[in-house]
Structure 1
Amino acid sequence: MDTAAAGLPEHLRRPSGPRNPGDAWVEGELGKFWGRFGSAGLLVQDPTKGILLQHRATWSHHGGTWGLPGGALHEGEDAITGALREAHEEAAVPPEKVRILFTSVFDVGYWSYTTVAVRVVESFEPVINDPESIDLKWIPANAVEDKDLHPAFATSWPGLRRELLQHH
């Protein structure tokens, strides 16, 4: 880590060390997206606590907004595995304590983002595990839209919420 970053609070520091080959931007006619092999995020619903949201580090794309734990897929990694891995890396979501409900895919042809919705089957508390989060909070589903959401998540949330309601 460079010396300028060393004096910053943890949530302002970019991760250091070797990166996965999937950690790269892809660009095309519809824009620039993170994740050479696509990206995925985990929509975690706890029936008693609400939806797990991540307050994104200020240095990240759309930093300072709220969204889902997730990120770039590794080469050859399926979206469910990637979303579970990323949520564990960023928020200590234990994969054995959630049950997969459904997936929702946003695909622009040369890049895709998969939201993997899960329901908590055994309660846990999320823990910030890396510098990509400022905070992690359980938010009631009817209050999610009150947060300053990552623009892509804000667009997808109404449909995802409807789908969650169908899986009760």
Structure 2
Amino acid sequence: MISRGDGDGWTRCAQGHKHWGLYGAAGLLLRHGERILLQHRALWSHHGGTWGVLGGARNSDETAEVAAAREAAEEAGIRPGSYAVAGCYVDDHGGWSYTTVVGLAEEAFAAPLLTAESLAVDWVSVERMYDLPLHPGFAATWEKVREIG
């Protein structure tokens, strides 16, 4: 079930870009060795049809880690205890930011849930990732977040 929080909505950053998340957004990048868990975004979503991390708008009372965990649970059934947080990367646009929370998973488990926000959720090798149409925000920050953990 997709919940509606007080952070849902469109806003503009100081750079003039339109973003989802009134209080910013956060996503979970899960790693297991040289594989990462990626979401193939539903066609109706912002940048639909691209691959990126599970994530979405932060609510006013959430840290980035809490928001990323909530979004991963809502979108794919990922349990917060199934990974350890290794660090975060903040992509600050001035007045709006996206925080990528990097988690390390002990195993490459199957995502237990698939919602209407996803065409697929799958573990992808870092090598194969470059063959996929990546979400532009994820593609722009990958080289920075890949060093975490």
AA at the equivalent of 1:108: H
Distance 1:159 1:64 in 2: 23
Map 1:3-152 → 2, pairs under 5 A: 19-30=4-15, 31-47=17-33, 50-152=35-137
Q: Report % sequence identity.
A: 43
Residue 142 of structure 1 deviates from its aligned partner by 2.1
AA at the equivalent of 2:96: W
Residue 46 of structure 1 deviates from its aligned partner by 1.5
Aligned residues: 148
Query: Which of 1 and 2 has greater Rg?
Result: 1
Normalising by structure 2, we get a TM-score of 0.91
Q: Which has the higher contact order (CA 8 A, sep 6+)?
A: 2
Matched position secondary structure for 2:18: strand
Contact kept in structure 1, 2:41 and 2:118, CA below 8 Å: yes
Normalising by structure 1, we get a TM-score of 0.81
Distance 1:141 1:37 in 2: 30
Matched position secondary structure for 1:146: coil
Cα RMSD, aligned residues only: 1.8
Contact kept in structure 1, 2:114 and 2:120, CA below 8 Å: no
Gaps of 5+ in 2: none
Do the aligned partners of residues 29 and 123 (structure 1) sit closer, same or farther apart at CA in structure 2, a change above 3 Å counting?
closer
Distance 1:77 1:150 in 2: 24
Contact kept in structure 1, 2:13 and 2:94, CA below 8 Å: no
Distance 1:142 1:119 in 2: 18
| Structure with a larger share of its residues in helix | 1
Provide Cα deviations, 1:46-91, integer angstroms capped at 9, x if missing partner: 227x100000000000000000000001111000010011011111
